[in-house]
Structure 1
Amino acid sequence: MPEILQLLASPAHRFVGRPADGPAPAPVDELVDEIQVRAELGIVGDRYFGKAAHREAGVTVIAAESLPPGAGLAQARRNILTSGIAVDELVGSVLVLDSGQGPVRLRVNRPAHPCAWMDVTIGPGAWRGLRGRGGIRCTPVSDGILRVGPVDVTIDPGPSRLPS
């Protein structure tokens, strides 16, 4: 059964400077049980909410199956950690998640490629190990609320996947 395992809405950008310097301290309240998603804007309270440069990446999703044991959103810096959803295969489609408050539609624009920070926050070799499995960058196309726990999942084909 698909699940949302963790949610992150962080007001702070923690990966600044060089990875060798280490990340900035994490706000104590960045991992939450519920997030409010706004169409075309992102996650309310997140550092990228409403930022024009991040409109196509306002929500990021990663599968727990891609991460080593013990790693989560605080290390991977994605917004939604799922289980039972092959998110890396969804580029070009619309991921619809409903955790009980109605469907939230996310247009999957591109992969969320890992960076050198992953070797610092997750462990040596994570940067290479997460290539092709680093999650997805999405634009929310509907407002809604997502919660940790079981989630109904629907995959709608995007415009690029419709038959001609």
Structure 2
Amino acid sequence: MTRRIQVVQLLVSPAHRLAGRPADGLPPARDRDLVTRAEVRAGLGLVGDRYFGQKAHRNASVTLMAQENLPVGIDPAVDLSGTRRNVLLRGVDIDSLVGSVVSIDCGSGPVTFALNRPARPCAWMEVTVGPGAQRALRGKGGVRCTPLSDGVLEVGDAVLQELGSAPV
């Protein structure tokens, strides 16, 4: 199945922003983590991101999330800065596609991802988004992915194509 979608936001964060415990409070925001263009490398992730090339995150180096699932009732301004996901999409229930391979083409060629497992919201969501966010995002906190091809993602209109089942 092929559908027109939008890449709403991209987050490429070179450092872990959330250290310690949620009760310790939130460190200052880093607006420069939100970008309009991100380079993707097969098996490695987003160039410049904290999970790029990290062996422990090989099958979860990129996280896709649906804008429709953001808990705007808790915080109307919630975005990737609060959820700490990498790619915010509009027009696709990405959480329902776990176990699939998809491609996203922003106009410069498709980038393929294996959608491996749900991204479970953590206790930090209560601080970064607001009280109740962790519960609100259960089952719709995004999908941890492995990039299967090199390419570029850009904010704007895109085409998503389901290509079949993810490799086991």
TM-score range, shorter chain: over 0.9
**Which stretches of structure 1, 4 residues or more, deviate above 6 A after TM superposition?**
none
Are residues 36 and 160 of structure 1, via their aligned partners in 2, closer, same or farther at CA, if it must alter by over 3 Å? closer
Deviates more, 1:59-68 or 1:152-161: 152-161
Aligned to 1:10: 13
1:9–1:35 Cα contact (<8 Å) kept: yes
Please say if 1:56 is aligned against 2:55: no
Please say if 1:82 is aligned against 2:86: no
State the AA in 2 paired with 1:2.
I
Structure 2: runs of 5 or more not aligned: none
Please say if 1:127 is aligned against 2:130: no
Offset from partner CA, 1:43-85 (integer Å, 9 cap, x none): 0000110000000111101111111131100000000001001
Within the candidate set 127, 139, 159, 2:146 is matched to 139
CA distance in structure 2 between the aligned counterparts of 1:29 and 1:120, rounded to whole angstroms = 20
Aligned with 2:85: secondary structure?
coil
Within the candidate set 34, 39, 51, 2:37 is matched to 34
1:104–1:143 Cα contact (<8 Å) kept: yes
CA RMSD of aligned residues (A): 1.4
Superposition deviation, residue 28 in structure 1: 3.5
Aligned with 2:95: secondary structure?
helix
Within the candidate set 113, 117, 125, 1:110 is matched to 117
CA distance in structure 2 between the aligned counterparts of 1:66 and 1:95, rounded to whole angstroms = 19
Superposition deviation, residue 21 in structure 1: 1.2
Superposition deviation, residue 160 in structure 1: 6.9
1:15–1:24 Cα contact (<8 Å) kept: yes
Could you tell me the TM-score, scaled by structure 2's length? Answer: 0.92
Please say if 1:23 is aligned against 2:29: no
State the AA in 1 paired with 2:54.
K
State the AA in 2 paired with 1:22.
G
| Count, aligned residues | 161
Could you tell me the TM-score, scaled by structure 1's length? Answer: 0.94
State the AA in 1 paired with 2:52.
F
CA distance in structure 2 between the aligned counterparts of 1:147 and 1:160, rounded to whole angstroms = 26
Q: Percent identity?
A: 55
Superposition deviation, residue 159 in structure 1: 4.9
1:95–1:107 Cα contact (<8 Å) kept: yes
Offset from partner CA, 1:102-142 (integer Å, 9 cap, x none): 00001000000001111111111000010000000000000
